[in-house]
Amino acid sequence: MKSYCCLLLFLLNFSLRIESANDSMILTYHQFIEQVKAFHPVISQSKLIAANGQISLLKAKSFVDPILASSYETKMFKDIDYYQYKELGMKWNTNSPVSFSTGIANNQGENINPEFSRGTFTYLGVEIPLLKGLRIDQRRAALAQARTLVDQSLIEQKTIINDLILDATQAYIEWYTSYQLLELINSYKKNVSQRLFLLRNALVQGDKAVSDTVELYTQWQQFELQRVTAELKYTQATFVLSSFLWDEKQTPYVLSDSYQPDTGFSLDPPDKLNAFDQHIHILNYDNKLKILDVDKKLKQEYMLPGLTLQGKAYGFQNKLPLVSAQYPIDQNYSIALNFKTPIFFKEAKADLLSVRNKIEQVTLDRIQKLRDLRLKSSSLEAEKNMLSDQINTLTQIKQNLELLLKFELLRFEQGETSLFLVNSREYKLYENEEKKIQLTGKYFSVLSKLKWLYLEFI
């Protein structure tokens, strides 16, 4: 049994001596986040979302673009020139309820429509809604909503980036924590291996019992088992971290084993906002209410009857109307007054009630979201303070446990205690440091959630 233990100790000592430190490179948190912001495809997608808002605005502005139109119609039958109608005109809407039109026309033939003027003439027209469409119409509503959608798309872009940086930060914290735990286990395992080496000499000289060797070797096995588990968790955390890494060609890659986290990693507490009224989630609801408010005004406009005034002034022989004194406007004009209305307005009433219900729902959602943000802030602040107190307590406990272990080692060297008690003291110290690393990781995780909540990742 004694020779078996000596052989075992020799192998352990040999394994300890051949260990060599691999050259490693540090990937700091700021380097990691900068790479995520620069190359992650979600960042590119968020830019496309912001661009979509501008595209919607451009489309809405097209409703006031001038429209150029031309027409030509002729009829010839049995060598009789019945008619030739030619017209070139332009119409444009404005940001007001007024629409304008202008053009030049030429009507020739033996049988032209009596409603049409013979010869060449110009015209300048105007169209004004007097009831429905006077305050707001479909094109002006679309333009107002598109401007709000531009702000909405920017908010959505910021939300996506904020969420992405939170996930990336959580991945780095997990990578850092798993690395710290692995290093802690390796450190304690190395200490046990060194004591096994010293115990071998004492065993050979007959100063220590074989039971002490078995006791210490069991301690070494426990740390070895935990090291394998910790190494697996560190490897898994590295893969999770790698899921955020992309190069400039938008190609994902796995982080090399030669990289390790910054052991000096830390997160500063966030600078808290005084209120959440300007939080992007609240601004998101505010923009929804703006869009619905425009929709409500439009639906209210549909509760009015349609009454449209159309007028045209004419000029002849290529003379512009309203300019030539030869053709006064009071003798060369046309006026039309069009009226149209439903009897009961059932569709308009239903649409208006639907919009009002949506506004009420969004308003309630906004109130609930604001309350949720405040409660989440209070909850995270309380958790942060609790974890900070626990970390401070574990730091004090560590000092006490280190002192107890030191005294126990002195007593063991003097033969006043057993190796079992030494191992017990050492393992309690290890558990204390393990707990502190885990709580530190949770503390950083809470800080990252607070930074996310207060929009410090944008």
DSSP 217-266: HHHHHHHHHHHHHHHHHHHHHHHHHHTT-B-TTS-B-PPPTTEEE-TT--
- The tokens for 38 are 């620069």
DSSP 8-state code for residue 135: S
Phi, psi of 273 (to 5 degrees): -85, 155
Contact 260, 52 (CB under 8 A): no
| pLDDT of 5 higher than 60 | no
What is the Cα–Cα distance from 418 to 268, expressed in whole angstroms? 45
| pLDDT of 417 higher than 90 | no
**In the block, residue with structure tokens 């020139």:** 81
What is the Cα–Cα distance from 455 to 458, expressed in whole angstroms? 6
What proportion of the chain, given as a percentage, has pLDDT over 70?
Answer: 87
Span of 199-203, 315-319, 337-341, 363-367 with lowest mean pLDDT: 199-203
Residues 6+ apart with CB under 8 A from 53: 149, 150, 151, 152, 153, 154
- The tokens for 338 are 């069009």
| pLDDT of 365 higher than 50 | yes
What number of other Cβ atoms are within 10 A of residue 364's Cβ? 11
Amino acid letter for position 159: T
pLDDT number for residue 70? 93
Amino acid letter for position 376: K
What is the Cα–Cα distance from 236 to 227, expressed in whole angstroms? 14
Contact 146, 55 (CB under 8 A): no
What is the Cα–Cα distance from 339 to 133, expressed in whole angstroms? 13
pLDDT number for residue 200? 65
Residues 6+ apart with CB under 8 A from 317: 119, 120, 121
**In the block, residue with structure tokens 């003439």:** 121
Residues 6+ apart with CB under 8 A from 356: 296
What is the Cα–Cα distance from 9 to 243, expressed in whole angstroms? 42
Q: Where are the beta strands (DSSP E) in 354-402?
A: none
Give the mean model confidence (pLDDT) for residues 46-63. 88
Amino acid letter for position 105: A
pLDDT number for residue 207? 55
Give the mean model confidence (pLDDT) for residues 307-314. 90
| pLDDT of 14 higher than 80 | no
* pTM higher than the cut 0.85: no
What is the Cα–Cα distance from 244 to 168, expressed in whole angstroms? 7
Residue burial 17-36, b: 16+ Cβ < 10 Å; e: rest: eeeeeeeeeebebeebbebb
Contact 370, 273 (CB under 8 A): no
Contact 442, 386 (CB under 8 A): no
pLDDT band at 240 (very low <50, low <70, confident <90, very high): very high
What is the Cα–Cα distance from 434 to 437, expressed in whole angstroms? 5
Contact 355, 296 (CB under 8 A): yes
Cα end-to-end distance, the chain, whole Å: 65
Amino acid letter for position 82: Y
- The per-residue pLDDT of the chain, averaged, comes to 85
